[in-house]
Chain A
Amino acid sequence: MQTSLLDRLFSAGLLIDTGVDGLYGRGGAFEDVIARFEALIGRHAPDATPEVIRFPPGMNRAHFEGSGYMKSFPQLAGTVHSFCGCELDHMNLLQCIAEGGDWTEGQKATDIVLTPAACYPLYPTIAKRGPLPEGGGLFDLQSYCFRHEPSKDPARMQLFRMREFVRIGTPDEVMAFREDWMERGAKLIEAVGLDVELDTANDPFFGRAGKMMGNSQREQKLKFELLIPVTSAANKTACLSFNYHQDHFGATWGLETADGEVAHTACVGFGLERIALALFAKHGLDTADWPADVRAALWG
């Protein structure tokens, strides 16, 4: 029987099984590849200096609600709940756990929701500062993100890291940013010896209404993805995405350009685990055996 990529990653200690599909520990060699790749992203980035912000993997629930995420992706969201009861509730809770019952029923929603994409906490934060300066804003983000989609496919994790650059400004500024990164992204991936294919894409919007949102997104070419083979050469995996949100986040959060217009936004997102997986799938599970040019690009 052929062992799956996931099993081989477990055996090599690159990923560590936790008993939950899509929730894995990472070994040192895996983390090293991600760190080296992130440094390479920095070397391929344009000269403009972004403002670096690191949010934790949880965001303000009010900001999450305001973002409209539940309109589009209710099936992917994860909320943080905690025990908020009295001592008697605690006793009942322990008894329920001991009996194998559903002890989570009494848990209450906290003010924290797991971050669904690295840029979600950014927009309300920037809106709070007031109108953008002349020339708009450029931000460098990275966060663990959560999406509830358990799978045996190692490229579909429930908790994974997303590195993002976000541009906020006029339509021309954000479109130019996205065009520029589509070229840079392809060069970056080619530099580490991976095959790339750029294609229009849509987000996994929920239900039939979502089918319409997805078709509309494709028709307007709002989302492009760089597809790279990970588990299959036929069904490639999106490892980078280039998104133009038009005025969606600008109008939602009241982001304004220096001229008082509703700001447009665009982002480029790197699926860091997916890129690492593509590298291990292509070049082998031992980084010492990777081709010299790939090693030189990553380790210098």
Chain B
Amino acid sequence: MSAVEAIRSIVAKHGKLPVDVATLQDDADLYAAGLSSFASVQLMLAIEEHFDIEFPEDRLNRKTFSSIKAIAEVVTELSEDQQAA
């Protein structure tokens, strides 16, 4: 499973969106689709667990979780950084 597909299924499980995640493009705005602040926190924790990464504090913001694509980019970057460290 690609990172994008994995994130898509985590969003489906933890995002508590009022719409079917399958209908969303990778770059669709998740907040506009109904992602609440609290659901985005649960999403953040589930992504950390799945990818075995830790978001640094400066990435704990709305931009990071704004779309499936945005999350995938940060996850890829952190996976590379945190494996190299």
Interface residues of A (CB under 8 A from B): 68, 71, 208-209, 211-213, 215-217, 219-220
Q: Which residue of A lies closest to B45 (CB)?
A: A209
- Interface residues in B1-46 (C-beta closer than 8 Å to A): 37-38, 40-41, 44-45
Assess the A215–B38 pair: CB atoms within 8 A. no
A213-B37, A219-B61, A219-B62 known; 12 new pairs, CB 8 Å cut-off, are A71-B38, A208-B57, A208-B60, A209-B41, A212-B37, A212-B40, A212-B41, A212-B44, A212-B61, A213-B41, A216-B37, A220-B62
Nearest chain A CB to B17 CB, angstrom units: 15
Q: In the complex, A211 Cα to B41 Cα: how many Å?
A: 9
Assess the A215–B41 pair: CB atoms within 8 A. no
B41: chain A residues within 8 A (beta carbon)? 209, 212-213
Assess the A216–B44 pair: CB atoms within 8 A. no
Q: In the complex, A213 Cα to B45 Cα: how many Å?
A: 13
Number of B residues near A (Cβ < 8 Å) is 10
Evaluate whether A209 and B62 lie within 8 angstroms (CB atoms) in the complex, with A71-B38, A216-B37 already known.
Answer: no
Q: In the complex, A213 Cα to B38 Cα: how many Å?
A: 7
Nearest chain B CB to A96 CB, angstrom units: 40
Q: Which listed residue, A71, A211, A220, touches B60 by the CB 8 Å rule?
A: A211
Assess the B45–A215 pair: CB atoms within 8 A. no
Nearest chain B CB to A214 CB, angstrom units: 9
B38: chain A residues within 8 A (beta carbon)? 68, 71, 213
Assess the A216–B40 pair: CB atoms within 8 A. yes
Evaluate whether A211 and B45 lie within 8 angstroms (CB atoms) in the complex, with A216-B37, A216-B62, A219-B62 already known.
Answer: no
Q: In the complex, A219 Cα to B60 Cα: how many Å?
A: 11
Q: In the complex, A208 Cα to B44 Cα: how many Å?
A: 10
Nearest chain B CB to A208 CB, angstrom units: 7
A216: chain B residues within 8 A (beta carbon)? 37, 40, 61-62
Q: What would be 25 A-B contacts, judged by CB atoms less than 8 Å apart? A: A71-B38, A208-B57, A208-B60, A209-B41, A209-B44, A209-B45, A211-B57, A211-B60, A212-B37, A212-B40, A212-B41, A212-B60, A212-B61, A213-B37, A213-B38, A213-B41, A215-B61, A215-B62, A216-B37, A216-B40, A216-B61, A216-B62, A217-B37, A219-B61, A220-B62
Nearest chain A CB to B54 CB, angstrom units: 8
Q: In the complex, A19 Cα to B61 Cα: how many Å?
A: 41
Q: In the complex, A68 Cα to B38 Cα: how many Å?
A: 10
Nearest chain A CB to B35 CB, angstrom units: 10
Q: In the complex, A278 Cα to B34 Cα: how many Å?
A: 42
Nearest chain A CB to B36 CB, angstrom units: 9
Q: In the complex, A209 Cα to B60 Cα: how many Å?
A: 8
Top-10 shortest CB links A-B: A212-B60, A209-B41, A215-B61, A211-B60, A216-B37, A216-B62, A219-B62, A212-B41, A211-B57, A213-B37
- Interface residues in B31-83 (C-beta closer than 8 Å to A): 37-38, 40-41, 44-45, 57, 60-62
Q: Which residue of A lies closest to B65 (CB)?
A: A212
Nearest chain B CB to A244 CB, angstrom units: 13
A68: chain B residues within 8 A (beta carbon)? 38
Nearest chain B CB to A94 CB, angstrom units: 45
Nearest chain A CB to B31 CB, angstrom units: 9
A212: chain B residues within 8 A (beta carbon)? 37, 40-41, 44, 60-61
Nearest chain A CB to B75 CB, angstrom units: 15
Nearest chain A CB to B66 CB, angstrom units: 11
Q: Which residue of A lies closest to B41 (CB)?
A: A209
